[in-house]
Amino acid sequence: MDNVGINRRFLEADDNEKEKAFELLFNTYHKIVFKKINRMMRSHPDPAVDAEDIAQETFIKAFKKRHQVREPEKLLGWLLTIAKTLTLNEIRDAKRRRQTGNSFLESLDNPSIGESEAPFATFLAETDAEQAEVERDMKAKLLCLLQGTDREVVTFINDGFTTQEIAEAIDATPDAVQKRLERIREWLIPIARNLETLISCLPGEDDRIVMERHLDGQPLSDIAKAICISRSDVEARVKRVIADWKKAARQNSTDPVSATVKND
């Protein structure tokens, strides 16, 4: 039986055949999956993370979600994607457990990225429980302003990953990662320093409500129901406001609020 046949048997197995199909799939692809995980581990070895445990978890997760795959030919790629995600999560969680108070914004300017200063740390202290709560709240709000790869990169930075590790995780070069971070800093720092004022200065009440709820982490669908507009309208408003804020921050990094009002 060729690999496509093995894949199809795994995907279509009924209750009577699923154990045998799982064993066949595991024996066919275990070495490939394990090598993928092991290669990732070489760049950031961690005694708290076991490659074999991740490999086994990969097949267990694949078995539980096998009905999501419609094309047998794509099963191996799907397995490797699961393995990559689980590996990164395990490494990230291990790093997080060891971290003892690095602030979110300060970690964005970690010297390992190539910067010697930490401008983020100037407006968020990390001394007591109350300030720590403020920092966590700001972290969550700022992540809501990021999408796609930008959000992924900042999350990695917050979790203590180096530029090299991030580059491997997102299939980019360290130089590309650093340039992306510089572009993010260019607009995110000014917005963070003026976030509440920027929200209060939004000209439309619906825009203010949408952004307040979005920055609190509410799903777009919930926001849409709360103010009786479509989800697509909510999404469009969020994207428009963030784009306006980014433009204003680039125009006037010391006072993006004035730039926003002028653009309006």
pLDDT for 237: 94
pLDDT for 124: 43
Domain 100-185 matching CATH 1.10.3470: the answer reads no
Q: What is the DSSP string of the chain?
A: --HHHHHHHHHH--TTTHHHHHHHHHHHHHHHHHHHHHHHHHHS--TT--HHHHHHHHHHHHHHTGGG---GGGHHHHHHHHHHHHHHHHHHHHHHHH--S--HHHHHT-GGGT-S--GGGGS---SSHHHHHHHHHHHHHHHHT--HHHHHHHHHHHTT--HHHHHHHTT--HHHHHHHHHHHHHHHHHHHHTHHHHHHT-SSHHHHHHHHHHHTT--HHHHHHHHT--HHHHHHHHHHHHHHHHHHHHH-SS-HHHHHHHH-
CATH fold of 3-98 reads Rna Polymerase Sigma Factor; Chain: A (1.10.1740)
pLDDT for 117: 38
pLDDT in 10s for each residue of the chain, 264 residues: 556 677 777 777 777 777 888 888 888 889 889 988 888 887 767 776 788 999 999 998 888 887 777 777 777 888 888 898 888 888 877 776 555 334 455 555 543 444 433 444 444 444 445 556 667 778 888 889 998 889 888 888 877 778 888 888 888 899 999 999 999 989 998 898 888 889 988 888 889 999 999 998 889 999 999 889 999 999 999 999 999 999 999 988 888 888 776 665
Domain ranges of the chain: 3-98, 100-185, 194-264
pTM: 0.54
pLDDT for 261: 65
pLDDT for 12: 74
pLDDT for 79: 87
